[in-house]
Amino acid sequence: MSVAIVILGAAVWPGGAASPALARRIGYGLEAAGRWPDAPIFCSGGVGDHPPSEAAVMAAHLGRCGIAPERIVLDEDSRDTLENVVAAATFMRRSGLSRAVVCTDSYHVPRARMIFGQLGLEAEAGPVMPAGRGMAPGEWRRMVARERLAFPYDFAVTWLRRRELLEATKRA
């Protein structure tokens, strides 16, 4: 089964610095790159409040850590998790890949895996820190609460738009 490493975006801070969430996700991606040395690394995330794109920040950091540029694929247009996963699914289908290794924070993994599943692709959690590690307790609770709202919303959107989304991932 062919694998793609998918790093989901998070904020870029002023001056182009990775936010703590983005830095963690890049770290998870680097660990996954060592476990799956032949897998392409799909960096997903557009420009938010501060340039450059989340994907460009990921790619630059991966390159500084010795990842070959030909392994890195950029999606600089996605603005949220649903768009990240649709873009990754499109790349995966076009490349003949069938399983995603999702590199994101542990609170975020279930929603990303659910969306991949709705699009007919397997997804597994990449390397992640245990729940709440690497984050302030208040931030952890806030993000978990956000996911409790976002999961059913994205489930409903992907269920209602499933045919359209599947077609979009196959056309590109």
pLDDT (tens, 9 = 90+) of the chain, 172 residues, equals 599 999 999 999 999 999 999 999 999 999 999 999 999 999 999 999 999 999 999 999 999 999 999 999 999 999 999 999 999 999 999 999 999 999 999 999 999 999 999 999 999 999 987 766 777 888 888 988 999 999 999 999 999 999 999 898 987 5
Cβ 17 vs Cβ 39: under 8 Å: no
What does the alpha-carbon distance between residue 117 and residue 87 come to, in Å, rounded to a whole number?
14
Q: Find residue 3's DSSP bridge partners.
A: 99
Element at 3 (helix H, strand E)? strand 3-8
Please state, in angstroms and rounded to a whole number, the distance separating the CA atoms of residues 42 and 49.
22
pTM of the model: 0.93
Q: In this structure, what token pair is assigned to residue 79?
A: 């603005």
* Length of the chain (residues): 172
Query: Which residues have a Cβ under 8 Å from the Cβ of 11 and sit 6 or more positions away?
Result: 19, 21, 22, 48, 49, 50, 54
Q: What local confidence, expressed as pLDDT, does residue 168 receive?
A: 86
